[in-house]
Amino acid sequence: MRTTALFVDLTGIDEALRMACLPVAPALLAQKLRRSAKLLTGELVAFAWGIWTGGEQSAADAFRQEGYALLSAEGGESGRCLSFRQQIEALEAGPRPPEVYVLVSQDPELAPLAHSLVEAGRDVRVWGLACSTPAELQQEALQFYSLEELLDLRVRSRALFIDFENIAFCLHDLGYAVDPALLARHLRERAAHGNSPVQAFAYADWHRLPPMQDASGRSLSSEAQRFFELSDIDTRYLISRAGKNTADMRIADDIRTVLQEPNPPDVFIIASGDRDFAPVIDTLLRQGREVIVWGVRGKTSRNLAEMAHVEYLQEFVPLTQRVARPTEPGAAPEPGAVVAAETVPSIWTPLVTLLDDIMGRNNWSWVSFSKLVAEACHSGKFGGTEEETRDLINQAIARGIILRERIPNPNPNYPDQFIWACRPNDESRAVQAARLVPALAIEFMWRSIVERGWDYVAFSFLLREMANCPELSLPGFNTDDDWRAAWINHLVAEGRLRLERRPHPKNRRDLMKALTMPEQDMLVRIIVSVDNFCATRNTTWEAASALLQYLACFGVDAVRAALAVGEHFGSFRLAKYTHPADPERPPTTGITLNPEVPFVARVLERRNTLLRALYAAQERGGASWESDLAALVGDKAPLWRSILSHERMVRPAEVAANNGHRYVLSRSHAVVRLVCGLPPEEEEDRDSLPAEEVAPAAPEQEAPVSGDLEPAGSGTWPPAGPGVLD
């Protein structure tokens, strides 16, 4: 009995179906493809390839339930062909290789694979969308069959209604160049993607539009209507009265007219951000039509976003900043004004950071386009779908922020193939700003926290530090406080800085904006842990691997990031030490604290102050977490409660009636004894305490302690600055 092998490129096919406005539920797609393939021969083995993360997890479950074996997506989309080839080689090496292979894909890179199977005498079929399957893939197959017929799909028609007056003024208000030729071309092409039948209409008072120009600054104001007609978009002339855009009423009337036609469109696209379109959108949705809104980011009504799917022009139209013309009143730009617009943080900033991170992580000089799309889509920062992510990256390429070139495939298995390689454009101002400004701001933050021993950095202080930075004296950089504040807020939004409200040191009733580092709390935890280890073990260093294992419950990545920061700024030193148990063993990487650094001294002094205060409160019989810790460290009480508990210096008391959130100080701990002034030989009368409140004695409790843990005032620790307990 003959066997058929079915290979489904789910990620590629699903994208192609959506682009052609032919979405199919994953369960239905899996079922129909399997049934159709089973008709070819008696036996069937089925495989599905995809990026099984995020929204495609439900698709993975649907294909698995239909009996498909799921292929790994290692390497992103670039690994598709390799996964298929490896699985086919495994089938061919088996006792009964398949006679028929069905490839359901749109990927032209599968053409050599199909060719090799045909040469081996196999019956190769390719199933794909007739409107978008590459010709080279169709030609290599013995038979091509369209999914439109196989799945009984009908290409859905579209109707595009463009409120150009709204779009033009919104773009102009945001500083973009309003290029009617560019807008008309991209709007028409996107609406017709997948060869969908499109009716397109543009509405405006064509003589009362904002100034329009192309990327070079050439005026196009008198040619806007002509460009839309040349792009096969019917134009409608409206008269705007008293500054009111009347397009919404005319478009609503035309949509209702189109709905009365014998075969109305399946998809209605409204290019406008005006909230007055909400009633007509509601009508379309009640009629069972799909509605898509194309708006300008920052100028689109929230009501529309809540009712329909919104796509922003900035994501699929390569817009440019407006260049003022010298002949216009007040048009002469200030020196560097155009360049400054390129150096402010934007959507391109995290994209450049991601691309640099991929290249640095893998020691690459470039990244394939498909790899970049997969990584950007996985991050979730560049659109909700892979299509949106791909469009955004294409915009970056069009703007010259990312360079893309066609190079030979470095994979030796495909010597005759080419791939698209991407890398940041080092000459782009946006790339230079994305690399330079965050690094300098982070450097200022850590220098202030570690070298000055501060708990936080005032927002205004960081603004002044950046203003006085000579490295930011490039053209278009460091123009004003708004420019600097935009970068600080960008780092906060990206999670690289934390913004808090804290009492002003001179007037505690006023709140000020304070900045801290995400790794700061973990760095405090590491300093306390290493110091405690050295004190109880009578040593000067702790093995890095032991510390990492001990603090792994708080996140291995967070510990490693804090270790890197601490070493870079001198809080501690990483070096090789002879193994204490066996000198013959290879040297061990150890961590040694530097108590001369103000931040380290401040952390240890704060720990000592806390232990003394908690000891005094417990002696008075009023020890409770909330009252004592909160009074001493304020909003850092949860952090210090966690640190002291994890280091076994303090533990919660047994919960009992009327005792509240009480704790027990572990007096047997060497650091507690030394800091609180208890003699080392002192032992608590264990019989006088309930058994559950007696801390277990550590095996090394009688070991001599390090001199680094002298009580305060002995001169070992540098005195902390004012406001230790701010």
Of 150, 177, 210, the domain-final residue: 150
pLDDT over threshold 50, residue 702: no
According to the model, what pLDDT value does residue 1 have? 67
Domain that holds residue 618: 559-726
Q: Which band of pLDDT confidence, cut at 50, 70 and 90, is reported for residue 24?
A: confident
3 state SS for 667-705? CCCHHHHHHCCCCCCCCCCHHHCCHHHCCCCCCCCCCCC
From CA 496, how far away is CA 489, in angstroms rounded?
10
Looking at the domain assignment, is residue 643 inside a domain?
yes
**pTM for this model (two decimals):** 0.50
Which residues face 161 on adjacent strands? Answer: 201, 270
According to the model, what pLDDT value does residue 721 have? 33
Shared domain for 305 and 374, answered yes or no, is: no
Sheet of strand 123-128, all strands in order from the earlier edge strand to the far edge: 69-71, 43-49, 3-9, 100-104, 123-128, 143-146
pLDDT over threshold 80, residue 683: no
Q: Which band of pLDDT confidence, cut at 50, 70 and 90, is reported for residue 126?
A: very high
pLDDT tens-digit map of 523-539: 999 999 999 999 888 88
Give the mean model confidence (pLDDT) for residues 234-243: 71
- The CA-atom distances, in angstroms, between 20 and each of 155, 404, 466, 688 are 7, 26, 49, 80
Give the mean model confidence (pLDDT) for residues 697-709: 35
Shared domain for 593 and 636, answered yes or no, is: yes
Shared domain for 575 and 721, answered yes or no, is: yes
Shared domain for 354 and 292, answered yes or no, is: no
Sheet of strand 267-271, all strands in order from the earlier edge strand to the far edge: 234-237, 198-204, 158-163, 267-271, 290-295, 309-312
Looking at the domain assignment, is residue 683 inside a domain?
yes
Instruction: List the single range of 1-15, 285-299, 622-636, 660-674 with lowest mean pLDDT.
Output: 622-636
Looking at the domain assignment, is residue 507 inside a domain?
no
From CA 610, how far away is CA 603, in angstroms rounded?
11
According to the model, what pLDDT value does residue 679 have? 77
Number of domains observed in the structure of the chain: 4
Instruction: List the single range of 319-333, 499-513, 570-584 with lowest mean pLDDT.
Output: 319-333
Looking at the domain assignment, is residue 97 inside a domain?
yes
Which residues face 46 on adjacent strands? Answer: 6
Dihedral sign for Cα atoms in the order 600, 606, 610, 611: positive
According to the model, what pLDDT value does residue 662 have? 65
Shared domain for 142 and 208, answered yes or no, is: no
Shared domain for 199 and 70, answered yes or no, is: no
Percentage of the residues of the chain whose pLDDT score is greater than 90: 16
Give the mean model confidence (pLDDT) for residues 19-32: 78
Q: Which band of pLDDT confidence, cut at 50, 70 and 90, is reported for residue 132?
A: confident
Q: Which band of pLDDT confidence, cut at 50, 70 and 90, is reported for residue 340?
A: low
Give the mean model confidence (pLDDT) for residues 112-122: 89
Which tokens hold the place of 594?
């530097």
Looking at the domain assignment, is residue 405 inside a domain?
yes
pLDDT over threshold 70, residue 105: yes
Write out the H or E segment, with its range, that includes residue 407. strand 402-408
Picking from 46, 44, 34, 42, the residue whose alpha carbon sits closest to that of residue 1 is 42
Percentage of the residues of the chain whose pLDDT score is greater than 70: 82
Shared domain for 580 and 726, answered yes or no, is: yes
Shared domain for 398 and 382, answered yes or no, is: yes
Give the mean model confidence (pLDDT) for residues 175-179: 87
Shared domain for 355 and 303, answered yes or no, is: no
pLDDT over threshold 90, residue 417: no
According to the model, what pLDDT value does residue 661 have? 55
Q: Which band of pLDDT confidence, cut at 50, 70 and 90, is reported for residue 694?
A: very low
Picking from 38, 48, 36, 34, the residue whose alpha carbon sits closest to that of residue 3 is 38
281: domain CATH number is 3.40.50.1010
Looking at the domain assignment, is residue 602 inside a domain?
yes
Helix, strand, or coil (residue 499): strand
CA 19 distance to own-chain centroid: 24
Highest average pLDDT, of 222-226, 363-367, 650-654, comes from: 363-367
Higher pLDDT: 216 or 305? It is 305
Picking from 20, 397, 69, the residue whose alpha carbon sits closest to that of residue 12 is 20
pLDDT tens-digit map of 597-654: 899 999 999 899 888 888 887 777 655 555 666 667 767 778 888 888 888 888 766 6
According to the model, what pLDDT value does residue 717 have? 32
- Specify the amino acid at residue 693: E
Q: Which band of pLDDT confidence, cut at 50, 70 and 90, is reported for residue 714?
A: very low
Q: Which band of pLDDT confidence, cut at 50, 70 and 90, is reported for residue 712?
A: very low
Shared domain for 50 and 126, answered yes or no, is: yes
> Quick check: 127 and 103 in contact, CB under 8 A?
yes
pLDDT tens-digit map of 59-91: 888 888 888 998 876 655 567 888 888 899 999
Instruction: List the single range of 64-78, 260-274, 695-709 with lowest mean pLDDT.
Output: 695-709
Picking from 656, 544, 527, 547, the residue whose alpha carbon sits closest to that of residue 593 is 527
Give the mean model confidence (pLDDT) for residues 330-359: 73
Other Cβ atoms closer than 10 A to 104: 25
Picking from 511, 485, 473, 476, the residue whose alpha carbon sits closest to that of residue 635 is 511
According to the model, what pLDDT value does residue 77 have? 59
According to the model, what pLDDT value does residue 552 have? 87
Shared domain for 127 and 275, answered yes or no, is: no
Shared domain for 177 and 133, answered yes or no, is: no
Higher pLDDT: 509 or 396? It is 396
From CA 583, how far away is CA 580, in angstroms rounded?
6
pLDDT over threshold 90, residue 14: no
> Quick check: 411 and 461 in contact, CB under 8 A?
no
Looking at the domain assignment, is residue 42 inside a domain?
yes
According to the model, what pLDDT value does residue 336 have? 47
In this structure, are strands 588-593 and 542-543 parallel, antiparallel, or unpaired? Answer: antiparallel
- 657 CB contacts (<8 Å, ≥6 apart)? none
From CA 422, how far away is CA 593, in angstroms rounded?
43
According to the model, what pLDDT value does residue 624 have? 56
Give the mean model confidence (pLDDT) for residues 546-560: 88
From CA 387, how far away is CA 377, in angstroms rounded?
9
Q: Which band of pLDDT confidence, cut at 50, 70 and 90, is reported for residue 27?
A: confident
Q: Which band of pLDDT confidence, cut at 50, 70 and 90, is reported for residue 506?
A: confident
Following DSSP, what letter does each residue of 271-302 receive, concatenated? Answer: E---GGGHHHHHHHHHTT-EEEEEE-TTSS-H
Other Cβ atoms closer than 10 A to 599: 25
Looking at the domain assignment, is residue 65 inside a domain?
yes
Of 431, 452, 473, the domain-final residue: 431
According to the model, what pLDDT value does residue 271 have? 94
Of 431, 447, 466, the domain-final residue: 431
> Quick check: 285 and 308 in contact, CB under 8 A?
yes
Average pLDDT, the chain: 80
